[in-house]
Structure 1
Amino acid sequence: MSEHHHTSWAEAARATLHCLTGCAIGEILGMVVGTAVGLHNAGTVVLSVVLAFAFGYALTMRGVLRAGVPLGRAIRIALAADTVSILVMEIVDNTVVVAVPGAMDAGLGTVLFWASLVFSLAVAFVVALPVNRWMIGRGQGHAVVHAYH
């Protein structure tokens, strides 16, 4: 789509928050499970990324399927709507968590573990926000699901 329209920061923030919700569920679950079962740091990050994409796509598909869209089309819509946003968020939040000294090795009962995770997701939101605004303004990203809300 080559249509350009003005996208408000509020509209972009809503889309980014929607994406962040799915990413955060998967990211937190992956970090908790990976840490709890003693996975190597790389394994924990991979698990978190896989779950972030799964939950991100699932949340979008839930709404699209509820609108009566067939499963195959709902999958394509979710992929088009969320892939770039989730990718940006996952690169940013995992880079931040890995960069915080000791965060990946901190236990589930530590402030460092939870604070670094929350901080990483906040940074991911801030970085993904202008990306989502730019994409929505071009009829891409979360703009492809607006018709199904």
Structure 2
Amino acid sequence: MDHGSAQQSLTKLAVSATLHCLTGCAIGEVLGMVIGTALGWSNFATVVLSVVLAFVFGYSLTIRPVLKSGVALSVAIGVAFAADTVSIAVMEIIDNAVMLLVPGAMEAGLANWLFWASLAFSLAVAFVVTVPVNRWLISRGKGHAVVHQYHGGDHEGHHQH
């Protein structure tokens, strides 16, 4: 594999890892924002709930396939922490910062397009910022790279049972 295709493959892997992270983060983020907004919580409490749920769902999406490979729960949890912590943290910092910076987004309410447009925009910005972070981590054998030995399919055949 030449240097250009190796770099392209690394970028493709980082995009895949970031999409995986985005899925868990988005589920937790949306759920947290909806619950906090519906209950009339402060911005701080809503953001805390969103972050906690993003980590829970993000880790869960990694733990499940790792468990299917036959490892113990404690190993799967360790793999998820190693694979996803930095990615989820960066994504949550960016998407919550964007939500807080969009004027009126947090106060708009669930029936207002501004809330939903801001949330979608914040997740898109977080994705764009997190791809290079994941690329850097994977290139050093860290982050999502640690999960590849436990599940295959879209990860270049690193399937092992």
TM range (shorter): over 0.9
- Aligned twin of 2:159: none
Q: For 1:1-149, list aligned pairs within 5 A.
A: 6=7, 8-149=10-151
CA shift at 1:11, angstroms? 1.0
CA shift at 1:8, angstroms? 2.1
Measured against aligned partners, the alpha-carbon deviations of 1:34-80 in whole angstroms (never above 9, x if no partner) come to 00111111100000000000000000001101111100011100000
CA distance, structure 1, for counterparts of residue 71 and residue 122 of structure 2: 34
Unaligned stretches of 5+ in structure 1? none
Task: Give the number of the structure whose alpha-carbon radius of gyration is greater.
Answer: 2
* TM-score normalised according to structure 2 size: 0.88
* TM-score normalised according to structure 1 size: 0.95
Counterpart residue type for residue 69 of structure 1: V
Counterpart residue type for residue 50 of structure 2: S
Q: What SS does the corresponding residue of 1:148 show, helix, strand or coil?
A: coil
CA distance, structure 2, for counterparts of residue 69 and residue 114 of structure 1: 39
Unaligned stretches of 5+ in structure 2? 1-5, 152-161
CA distance, structure 2, for counterparts of residue 107 and residue 34 of structure 1: 10
CA distance, structure 2, for counterparts of residue 40 and residue 80 of structure 1: 32
CA shift at 1:10, angstroms? 1.1
Counterpart residue type for residue 75 of structure 1: I
Structure with more contact order per residue of length (Cα contacts < 8 Å, sep ≥ 6): 1
Counterpart residue type for residue 144 of structure 1: V
CA distance, structure 1, for counterparts of residue 87 and residue 96 of structure 2: 14
- Aligned twin of 2:157: none
- Aligned twin of 2:3: none
Q: CA RMSD in A?
A: 1.0
Counterpart residue type for residue 23 of structure 2: T
Aligned length: 145
CA distance, structure 1, for counterparts of residue 76 and residue 13 of structure 2: 22
CA shift at 1:100, angstroms? 0.2
Question: Is the contact made by 2:10 and 2:138 (CA closer than 8 Å) also made in structure 1?
Answer: no
CA distance, structure 2, for counterparts of residue 116 and residue 69 of structure 1: 40
Task: Provide the identity percentage.
Answer: 69
